[in-house]
Structure formats: structure tokens, C-alpha cells
Amino acid sequence: MTLDRQQATASRLKLGDKMKIATWNVRTMLQKGKFDNIKQEIDRMKISTGISGVSEVRRKGAGNIVSEKFQFIFSGGSDHERGVGVILDQKVSKALNGYWQISDRVLLVKIAGKPMDINIIQVYAPTSASSNEDLEKFYEELEQAKSNCKNDEPTFIMGDFNAKVGERGEEKSLGQHGLGIRNERGEHLVEWCETNDLLIANTCFKQPLRRKWTWKKPGDDTKNQIDYILVNDRFKNALLSAKSYPGADCFSDHVPVVAVVRLKLKKIKTQPGNIKLNIGLLKADQDLRQRYTVAVKRRFQGLEEFEEVEQHWQNLKEAITEAASTVIPPMRQKAKQKWMTDEILDLIDKRRQAKNDKEVYENLHRVIRKKCDEVKEV
């Protein structure tokens, strides 16, 4: 199945440069200050030079937010549930080759690399409380994303799989350093990895327990490994390490998983077609409207007649677009006013350091939320 693609023009990543790829269930990105919190942690963990996938974003709809320092592509549903996203640093953003917002559980981002493209699929699988139908639908969407990735391209499938694969079994998709006992959802994931020649990266490197677990069960100290980074087996030699970062904090019960890989990016030039025109001026400015009408008529006059309806429509569309780009000025984007303060960022860091003291941690979280509300209202 061919998916609708949001396209860019890219500069290439090369296999050979070290970069970090991370995934983190952040629990929500709706709270005020949450995005700044996540960005601060990404910078602190030195993942700002790479790709960071996020699960359980809980944003409605699909979007693409571009700033000077990063790009955030997200895919949500019709309500504030589920949702996935990918945060690209400035360098990787320039190599963006396109993305497919498949569902509120699956997002595919394609990066131009050297000598081949690099695929990032960020996921958020149904929990164990979900039905088998929900799980099957998720894997269908995952297959849909994977079908748009060539076998000879490095593909990283990552996120919260809500599955325990356990310690090493007989399967080649598992390393020797998994965690815990496999459950039914874990069996399903391992079987899917075996079928698709995928390796579960964060089971492949010897690590202390604190670098293996990815989710702490609320209410007790039970720690599990349910978030993973998968890579196609033929590119396993590009993996240098993969482990969790338990010191990271964004008021989530999950911790990020980070892989270091050897990849090279390719630079992409922004296509002129991506520039938004201020169409509203046509209604307000009579002179502009007249000039646009003349420009369109001139281009229509130069068109040839085609029997094929599709070709005729394509020519009409190009004529209208060209006329608009020559007459209508681009939309001026207002820079968002930065409201986050150093005081709040310092409080966020203090909360991170208090992770082992539940009372202090939760008190600081309440203070942070109150401060964010106060600053946003000013």
C-alpha cells in the first residue's frame, strides 16, 4: 500500500558518523512546560545531536513544528490519547526526506543518508489491557509503515511496545542481555521480529540492571523492559551501544532508551513549494487581486490542449500555482514568544535530582505546574 507522503528535499546522512537515536514514553506533551522539559533532558543527555522519538504524546491531529534548533513531527488521533512524535535536531532536520503520519500509534520518518536513506518508525503499542483486535490493528499499521522502507535501507523501529521479551531465548532477534520473563505480548513482538529479520538493540549489550529497565510500575518498585529500539539485522554492525537512561526525568514512569549508531546524513534544500503564501491578501487588496487574475489568464493562454484529463488538470494546477508564487507575497510567520523561565528550568532539574524522594519529587512537580500556569497567564 502506498501512503500519502509529506515530502522535503534532503541533504544526505552517511553511514560512518556517530549519532544518537532515542525513544521515550513521555506520558503526555499537553502539560505547560513539558516540551521545554523534554528538550532540556535531550540536551543534558547529549541526544540533541540526533533523533528522539516520543510515545504517548496525546496531541490531537497531525502536525509539524519547525524552529531554528529542532523540528517536531507528531501524529495523533481525534482525542488527547495515544500519539507519537519524532524530534529532529537541526542537522538531521536538514536531511529530512519525508514523513508518513500513519496513525496515532505509528509514524514513519525518512532521513536522506549516504549511501542510502534511513528510516525511523516511532510507535506506541496497545497496553496489555487492550483487546487482541487493537493489537492486530497496531501490527497492521506497523507493516504499512515498514512496507515503505526498502530492505537495503537501515530501519529503526522504536517506542513503547508494552511487551516484555525477557532474557535471551533461542531466537536470533534477541541479544543475551534482556530483562525479566517474557509475556504474551513479548512473544508476539519476538515472532514479528523473527519474521522481519529485526534485532532488538537494547538486549544486545551487557549493562547493569539500571541500564536495562525502561518502565517502573506506578505504586511499587517493579521495573520492566518494555521500550525497545529495533534495527534490521543486516545493519546490526552500525550499532555501537543501546541502553536506558534512568537519570532522565519528565514526570513519566518511563525512562528513555538511547542507541549510538554509525550513520551519515545528507543535506536537503527546502523546496520553494513549501513556502506558504498569504492568500488572505487577495480578499483585502483589490490591486493584488487584479494582478493575480491577469497572471493566471496569461498562463492559461499559453496552455496546450490535452485529451488526457489528468495531464490537462496538472497543467492547470501548475499555472495557478506559478501565478500565485509570482504575485502573492509569502506568509510572515510570527515567532512564538518564549515564556519558559530559567527559574522553572532550574526547578525541573531539581525535580530530576529528587527522583528517589517521592514526597520532594511530587511537591516540586506541583510547584513547577503552578509556576508554568502563572507565567503563561502573564
Query: What is the Cα–Cα distance from 301 to 295, expressed in whole angstroms?
Result: 10
Element (H, E) at 274: none
pLDDT of residue 76: 93
Three-class SS of residue 325?
helix
Using only the alpha carbons of the chain, give its radius of gyration: 23
**What are the Cα distances from residue 366, in Å, to 38, 246, 347, 378?**
17, 22, 11, 19
CB count, 10 Å around CB of 79? 10
pLDDT digits (tens, 9 = 90+) for 176-190: 999 999 999 999 999
Mean pLDDT of 265-277: 59
Whole-number pLDDT of residue 231: 98
Q: Check pLDDT > 80 for residue 280.
A: no
Phi, psi of 95 (to 5 degrees): -100, 5
Which three cell numbers, joined as nine digits, stand for 105? 500509534
Architecture (CATH level 2) of domain 6-267: 4-Layer Sandwich (3.60)
Spatial CA neighbour of 370 closest among 33, 30, 39, 28: 33
Say what the pLDDT of residue 249 is. Answer: 93
Q: Are 155 and 191 in contact (CB under 8 A)?
A: no
Place of cell 516484555: 164
- Residue 253 is predicted with a pLDDT of 94
Residue 126: alpha-carbon gap to chain centroid: 18
The stretch 187-194 carries a mean pLDDT of 97
User: Is the pLDDT at 10 greater than 70, yes or no?
Assistant: no
pLDDT at 273 over 70: no
CB 93 within 8 A of CB 71: yes
Cell digits for 189?
A: 513482538
| Residue ranges with strand state E in the chain | 6-7, 11-14, 18-25, 50-55, 62-66, 70-75, 84-89, 96-101, 106-111, 113-114, 118-124, 155-160, 198-200, 215-216, 223-224, 227-232, 239-244, 257-262, 265-267
pTM comes to 0.76
Give per-residue pLDDT as tens, 282-330.
Answer: 777 787 788 888 877 777 776 666 556 776 677 777 778 877 777 787 7
